[in-house]
């Protein structure tokens, strides 16, 4: 029988891992199946654009995986049984169970509500395509009436606020954040950010903790009430509880605990990539949830899988944190450079050049999903017929 590799999720991390493994492992030895809730690849870094009213290019996963031999299952994952090495699925045909020998867990993350009452019932977010489409419909419904409040001060909050402001100039928009807006940025980048918010007329409420979301308002911890016909919740990310429920070793925030080669520390045969993985970056800090992190962790996970299955040496790939790239509408942006410790440097790329660079990066990322080996010679490794020992956990 062929060795069964199942990849859960086809976002930036999962789609890359599946494509790379299919092009590096011999098809006579492995059977690769990708399970994803949608039939299209979702460019999560563009979902604020989708919410603001722009139409994104459809990228069918079947087309991305064409010619690779990868089997695509469009289904929702309900449970991962790591003891029996099986995944429970549900789709239009009903319930099914998919068994595996090697599992790549790349289910990503969604918006974190932090236990704030009313978020699930009344707030919108842009961490998934269906959610972004719901927000889009709500903004179209508002027209030039009503107020929008974006809650959060991170990259997603900034991008959502500026994108909506640019696309809907008649809607008053505010942003509430617990700290300073862009407080982590260098001085040049922060000045540019604040000028951009002024240009868009976005009202900023700093040092504001939100205690409750209601249908037409948001209540801060100090009792201040902000009128909000639409609340956009962008206060961080959380991983799906499926990981913890499966019995995998996880961190307090639900991320799966892995070794330096992205192997689950509790269950051999499970590899993790993307936002679901808790891993220490090269700067000694936890690698943040991001598209860039998906690429780095996916590269390390595939190197470990190929090494463990073929007996080849597992290369330790780098896990850097390179900086913050922020779009500020379609014609403006920022790229904040960071040093080796992850601290913002004085320099920053700003304005149209930064916007063009980000657009190029996003286009290249989409292209690379169909070309995961980046033009390297096609060499299909055969699986080892005998194994003297299981892979050892490598300290992070």
Q: Where are the domains of the chain?
A: 3-108+240-322, 124-233
Question: How crowded is residue 341: how many other Cβ atoms within 10 Å of its Cβ?
Answer: 9
Is the model's pLDDT at 75 over the cut of 60?
yes
Q: Which two tokens stand for residue 84?
A: 């029996």
For residue 108, give the nearest of 297, 269, 286 by alpha carbon. Answer: 297
Q: How far apart are CA 272 and CA 330, in angstroms?
A: 33
Q: Token pair of 59, please?
A: 């990228």
Closest CA to 111 of 101, 123, 103, 100: 123
**Token reading at 194:** 């604040």
- Asked whether this chain's domains 3-108+240-322 and 124-233 adopt the same fold, the reply is yes
Report whether pLDDT(390) > 60.
no
φ/ψ of 146, rounded to 5, equals: 90, 170
For domain 3-108+240-322, give the CATH superfamily: FAD/NAD(P)-binding domain (3.50.50.60)
Query: pLDDT digit string (tens) for 321-366?
Result: 888 899 999 999 999 988 877 788 888 999 999 999 999 999 999 8
pLDDT surpassing 50 at residue 387: no
pLDDT 10s digits, 175-193:
999 999 999 999 999 999 9
How far apart are the C-alpha atoms of 228 and 343, rounded to whole Å? 34
Q: Which of 10-14, 346-350, 389-393 has the lowest mean pLDDT?
A: 389-393
Token pair of 236 as six digits? 């961080």
- Could you tell me the pLDDT band of residue 375, with boundaries at 50, 70 and 90? low
Q: What is the mean pLDDT of the chain?
A: 93
Please name the residues in contact with 239: beta carbons below 8 A apart, sequence gap of 6 or more. Answer: 107, 108, 109, 110, 253, 254, 255, 256, 275, 276
Give the other-Cβ count within 10 Å of 17's Cβ: 30
Q: Where is average pLDDT lowest: 204-213, 247-256, 384-393?
A: 384-393
CA 90/CA 76 separation, integer angstroms: 5
CATH class of 124-233: alpha beta
Distance CA 341, CA 352 (A): 28
- pLDDT given at position 254: 95
Summarize pLDDT for 292-305 with one digit per residue, the tens.
899 999 999 999 99
Euclidean distance between CA atoms 214 and 264, whole angstroms: 40
């Amino acid at each position: 029988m062929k060795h069964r590799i199942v990849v859960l999720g086809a976002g930036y991390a999962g789609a890359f891992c599946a494509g790379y493994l299919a092009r590096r492992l011999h098809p006579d030895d492995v059977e690769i199946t990708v399970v994803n809730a949608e039939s299209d690849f979702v460019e999560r870094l563009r979902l604020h654009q989708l919410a603001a009213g722009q139409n994104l290019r459809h990228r069918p996963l079947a087309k991305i995986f064409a010619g690779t031999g990868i089997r695509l299952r469009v289904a929702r994952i309900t449970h991962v049984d790591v003891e029996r090495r099986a995944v429970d699925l549900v789709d239009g045909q009903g319930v099914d169970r998919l068994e595996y020998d090697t599992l790549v867990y790349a289910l990503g993350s969604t918006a974190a509500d932090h236990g704030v009452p009313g978020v699930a019932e009344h707030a919108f977010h842009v961490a998934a395509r269906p959610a972004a489409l719901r927000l889009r419909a709500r903004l179209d419904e508002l027209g030039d009436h009503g107020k929008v409040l974006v809650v959060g001060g991170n990259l997603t909050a900034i991008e959502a606020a500026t994108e909506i402001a640019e696309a809907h100039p008649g809607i008053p928009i505010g942003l509430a954040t617990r700290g300073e807006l862009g407080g982590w940025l260098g001085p040049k980048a922060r000045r540019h950010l604040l000028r951009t918010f002024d240009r868009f007329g976005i009202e900023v409420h700093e040092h504001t903790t939100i205690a409750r979301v209601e249908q037409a308002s948001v209540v801060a911890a100090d009792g201040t009430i902000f009128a909000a016909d639409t609340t956009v919740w962008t206060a961080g990310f959380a991983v799906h509880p499926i990981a913890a429920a499966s019995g995998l070793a996880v961190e307090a925030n639900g991320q799966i605990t892995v070794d330096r080669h992205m192997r689950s520390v509790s269950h051999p045969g499970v590899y993790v990539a993307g936002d679901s993985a808790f891993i220490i970056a090269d700067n000694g800090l936890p690698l943040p949830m991001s598209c860039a992190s998906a690429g780095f962790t996916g590269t390390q996970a595939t190197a470990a899988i190929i090494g463990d299955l073929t007996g080849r040496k597992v290369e330790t790939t780098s896990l850097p944190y390179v900086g913050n790239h922020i779009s500020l509408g379609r014609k403006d942006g920022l790229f904040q450079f960071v040093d080796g410790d992850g601290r913002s440097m004085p320099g920053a790329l700003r304005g149209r050049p930064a916007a063009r660079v980000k657009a190029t990066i996003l286009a290249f990322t989409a292209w690379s999903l169909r070309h995961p080996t980046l033009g390297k010679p096609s060499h299909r490794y055969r699986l080892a017929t005998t194994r003297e020992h299981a892979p050892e956990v490598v300290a992070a």
